[in-house]
Amino acid sequence: MIDRYTRPEMKEIFSLGHKFDTYLKIELAVSKVLAEHKVIPQEDYEKIAKNAKVNLPEILELEKETKHDVIAFTRSVSNSLGEERKWVHYLLTSTDVVDSSLAYIYKEADEILYQDLLKLKETLKNLALKYKFTPQIGRTHGIHADITSFGLKWALYYDELNRDIRRFLEAKKDLETIKISGAVGNFANIPPYVQDEVAESLKLNSALISTQVLSRDNHAYYFSVLMIISSLCEKIAFEIRLLQQTEIHEVDEYFSKGQKGSSAMPHKKNPISSENICGLSRLMRGYLLPILEDNALWHERDISHSSVERVALPDGITLLDYQLNRLNNVLSKLIVYEDKMKEDIYLTHGVIFSQRVMTELIDKGLSREYAYDLVQALALKSYNEHLDFHALLVGNDDIKKHLSEKEIDSCFTLDYYFKNVDFIYKKVGIE
């Protein structure tokens, strides 16, 4: 991933140097277990642990010749050792090291993503509490519908994020799994206890069964969860973009001193962060399909998945980390115009209270069909001719037969829409 969308923490985790450092970590963990079981001499293991070095320039030079990064790695490490070098990569196949190293690297990245998710969760909770009783017009199909609480938007996102976190924790557990089972996964050349004990020492999971590679269903499930999380980021960012439109203008992204919106139009203040977040979700969706296709490999393995995973998984994980942090920054500084929200409620001359008037008429004994048609005619007249809906109701003879002016007035209050907000918040765990 390009530096523009890469935070330093993720850049380090997915760096080439860190990859080979992790290869060495796996090799040393295997050698330690083999020494403990007296398969290799303890003194040789101690020499390897003390002297084995990763020499990145040498590895890259050797790879030009060998066309194989793991062989280049093992030969370079061996060059830093004496006769004990014969135990480097002993009983292993390349993917024992590669897949196990990736599991370790993904675990490191997952710790960062998990903290990102927790920070966003806290921000959403704070917004939900702050705007719990802030009235806002709800929109369906982009059209004014009924009054809601601005806080309920954030409570909804909070609830969805909780589900995403649950999915993430499940998916990452499966992804953080090692295999050290040999060339075709049958443990013919390496004892099964090596895999289990290495997994325990590195706090990773041990595969129940594998071929030469781990099954890629875990990778597909994991990235599907990342994509679902990314889609939540997109959903929130989309809402901000819509609410920042000039004709609505109920929120603004923070606009710093000296920031510019357009090279041609000095007045512009654009929701660029939210737009960026939506664009990154398109990239994430693009990565998902090849990762899903990686699960079907030839026989006990091929390397068609390798090229995909060298790009798609590091890029996708890095992008989600960037998305979550950028979104959290936007939300932490979000400017909310509560007065404009209230103004927009009355933009349609009061017709958004039509449902309550209709319900009141039904409660008075009218059929639903008659009450609907009666109220609709007045609501459309109000909307189309820019007339006050309340005044039309009060002045209509058919309405006056059933509702007093006081009863009509009672249909135009805002507190009515908050009567079950506490109940909803309690259900989603915000108190």
Token digits for 352? Answer: 């958004």
Could you tell me the CA-to-CA distances from 82 to 31, 77, 99, 137 in Å, in that order?
Answer: 15, 11, 28, 75
Active-site residue, selected from the candidate residues 37, 68, 262, 306: 262
Catalytic residue selected from 18, 68, 100, 141: 141
Q: Which residue has the tokens 């080439």?
A: 16
In 67-191, alpha helices (H): 69-78, 94-130, 150-175
- For the chain, give percent helix, strand, coil, nearest 5: 65, 5, 30
DSSP string, 395-407: T-HHHHTT--HHH
Beta strands 135-140 and 143-149, pairing class: antiparallel
Q: What type of residue is 134? A: T
CB 168 within 8 Å of CB 114: yes
Q: What is the DSSP letter of 261?
A: S
Residues 321, 113 contacting (CB under 8 angstroms): yes
Q: Is 78 annotated in the active site?
A: no
Instruction: Specify the amino acid at residue 206.
Output: S
Nearest to 384 by CA among 416, 348, 408: 348
What separation in angstroms does the CA of 406 have from each of 145, 221, 411? 24, 58, 9
How far, in Å, CA of 221 to CA of 291, rounded?
9
For residues 369 and 329, give the distance between their C-alpha atoms in angstroms, rounded to a whole number: 49
Cα–Cα distance list, 420 to 7, 94, 218, 417, 427 (Å): 41, 59, 41, 8, 11
- Is 262 one of the annotated active-site residues of the chain? yes
The token pair that represents 189 in the structure block: 């050349």
CA distance 400 to 429: 44
Measured between alpha carbons, how far is 109 from 92 in angstroms, rounded to an integer?
26
Task: Assign 270 to helix, strand or coil.
Answer: coil
Report the catalytic residues.
141, 262
